[in-house]
Amino acid sequence: MKLTEALGLVSFKVPQGSNSERALARCHTVEDLRRLAARRLPGSVLDYIDGGADAEHSLAGNIEAFARRRFTPVVLADVSSPDTAATVLGRQAAAPLGFAPTGYTRMIRPDGERAVARAAAGAGLPYVLSTMATTALEDLVTDSAVDRWFQLYVWKDRAKTFELVRRAADAGYRVLEVAVDTAVPGNRLRDVRNGFTIPPRLTAGSLLDIGAKPGYWTKMLRAPGLEFANLSGGPAGAGYTIENIGAQFDPAVTWADLAQLRAAWPGKLLLKGPVGPADAVRARELGVDGVHLSNHGGRQLDRTVAPAELIAPVREAVGEDFAVVVDSGIRHGADIAIAIALGADLAMVGRPYLWALAAAGEPGVVRLAELLVGQFRRTMALLGVASTAELRRRGPQLLDQGARPAVSQVPVAGPIPART
């Protein structure tokens, strides 16, 4: 090759956009977003997102349950225009992807739940607001394009519980999820070791965090104070901290309580937790519309079976006219495809959108949705299926039914290996 020809191959581009925009443009995976978030967040806040219960076996197992699956594609199929749309509980989403409920989201970034809801609306995806949100459920009403769901914790104070149900109904939330895996708080050792509290307290450790990430703390100090915004009685959320809030959850909740909630809630109702086939059938018999299979991202009971492993047996037990949603361990669009092939209607992510929010705010969450939906679309095409409905229908033949270990290890995220 002549020197003039070689020089012709050289291309120089002047970087465009802000530093944040350029950094976000270099994010091509969920792990890229996490690495960018790690540059923005104090260590204790990153551990709050990343951490699980006890030895974090469930946390690693959730990811492994997807990573060990192997595809068996079909060939010579017209996949020129893959249709990622999915109908979930009577409403169409742009893809079988949603944003799961997470607590204290404004601690990650001041615009918190609002930013996530706007990104979800723009992507045509459902968003679930948590009881433990730092934005009141009524304050998302202005974002009318959002398919808004509400996750409910059952309180010892039943009047407070049913007040939340009424408020969600009055505010137009379409789906209510009743969380049933928080009889007591999980033992999240990273938070214990970090002395992490909500609201944060100034300690020697937190002062070191401030020194290490001044940009984060500057944003927090300029923003309105953090609180559990959905808990009324005096100033919203007043008096509740991460240490005492768990004592308000009722460990005596039974099927009778679920029946009362079914009677009180006018919309679609889901049971959220590590729900097995027998309990899913019982929920259906009570008039529940579906289950949200979750082990809280490995943050409650350690050594719990991965929700991905529950999809097929639950679907077989309840039949086709019952919604099956799954979260915990989804890090790629191929994981979404696996969930649908196993029998789920919708896959949800939590930690990934918190990393994206920390990395770049609302544009970060928009980027996450683009990545996951794009990966899902590519996976569909390479599997030889033209639509989400076809993927669901032909799912068993597209997955190798033999149990195989994953070839590579789960990517490291944080100080404990294989615990993203």
Tens digit of pLDDT for each residue in 372-407? 999 999 999 999 999 999 999 999 999 997 655 444
How much is the pLDDT for 420?
A: 38
- Domain-by-domain residue ranges, the chain? 30-398
Tens digit of pLDDT for each residue in 64-110? 999 999 999 999 999 999 999 999 999 999 999 999 999 999 999 99
Is 296 among the residues known to form the active site? Answer: yes
Phi then psi for residue 134, to 5 deg, are -105, 15
Give the C-alpha distances (Å, rounded to integers) separating 35 from 43, 102, 354, 411: 12, 20, 12, 12
Report DSSP letters for 108-123, one per residue: TSTTHHHHHHHHHHHH
How much is the pLDDT for 199?
A: 64
Q: Encoding tokens for residue 5?
A: 């020809």
Give the Cα separation of 33 and 414 in Å (integer). 13
Q: Of the listed 28, 57, 292, 296, which one is catalytic? A: 296
Give the Cα separation of 164 and 154 in Å (integer). 10
Q: What is the pTM of this model?
A: 0.89
Q: 82: cis peptide before it, omega within 30°?
A: no
CA atoms within 13 A on the CB side of 121: 15
How much is the pLDDT for 183?
A: 84
Give the Cα separation of 206 and 125 in Å (integer). 36
Name the stretches of the chain with pLDDT < 70: 1-15, 142-144, 198-207, 209-210, 232-247, 402-420
Measured from the Cβ of residue 368, the count of other Cβ atoms closer than 10 Å reads 27
Domain 30-398 maps to which CATH number in 1.10.357.10, 3.60.9.10, 3.40.50.300, 3.20.20.70? 3.20.20.70
How much is the pLDDT for 197?
A: 73
How much is the pLDDT for 417?
A: 37
Question: Which residue, 96, 93, 105, is CA-closest to 355?
Answer: 105
Burial class from Cβ neighbours inside 10 Å (0-12, 13-18, 19+) for residue 56 reads buried
